[in-house]
Structure 1
Amino acid sequence: MNRYISLLLFVGIVWGQMDDPETGEAVKTQDSAEENDSFRKHNLSIGMLDDRTGFSLIGYTYNVRQTELDEYFIGGGTMIFAFTGTVGWKHYYKKSRLSISSVLCGQYVIHFGFMGFLPTISFTLEYNLAKWAQVKLGGMGLMLLGGTSGESGGDTGVLPFMGLNFRF
């Protein structure tokens, strides 16, 4: 009998709810990213290249883990004849209406002319139009490891990007 009472107490504590002693109402915790409006997990980007998905006109990323200044994401993007799968980390140096951030990510690019692993680093300026829409511009450094079957090595370069980002 004591074992069942201990089990009920343990389950009650684990699944219990915190109440405000004065009002008796449930206290909302702000630990959950879903309840906090500033943590939006889905990103849709449209524009000329992208800091997260690289070679893409339309890209989607999902934030796996978020903190106040860091986002860890996975996603994919597409250009007319190319597909990019990506995983990476975004760090904000300044987060306000005009944010400054950098992205470090690894991408795998498949295209008619080449395919291979594409690590990128980018620096971004984001201007928030609304809580859910941003204008992004910046520069992206990349190094293609692999290439076509006729090539033995990769390629490096620096490219600018500009686009709209929608968070939901």
Structure 2
Amino acid sequence: MASNTAIMGNLPSGIGICATIPDILYLPELVFGGLVWILVACTLVVPHNPQGWVMFVSVFCFTMTFIWLVVFACGGHRNRGIWAAADFAYHGIAAFFYLSASVALAKVTLDMNDGNLTQNYKLDISAVVFSYVATLLYFIHTILSAIRWKSF
């Protein structure tokens, strides 16, 4: 348990982000967020408004997570308490955004089901699954970031 506390109590820099909890979740968040972005961009859905929100969330979270990863990898976080709180806040907002986008995407996908498994419908189902996986990853990262923030 002591080694887990040591891992959770420090903000990593450099290659340490690939071996510490919760920072090891950055790469899966980028992969699944990128998949949502690609799959939604590949489909043509008639109600553009929910799809626009899903695209905004996936592009915003992908970009911000990449920037966050680069800041941590380059060691740009000097005041560790503030950065730990910011990490918790960002991942909480990202989890909330992804949850709202996932629900909207699932609703649109269910509404366009006409009994045939067309290529667009299969892509949308995949996007919904990956969107919920990204939501789960961001939520887990939020909880682990909160634990790390409280340990400072």
Q: Per the shorter chain, which TM-score range?
A: under 0.3
> Radius of gyration: which is bigger?
1
Q: Greater helix share, 1 or 2?
A: 2
Give the TM-score of the pair, scaled to structure 1: 0.24
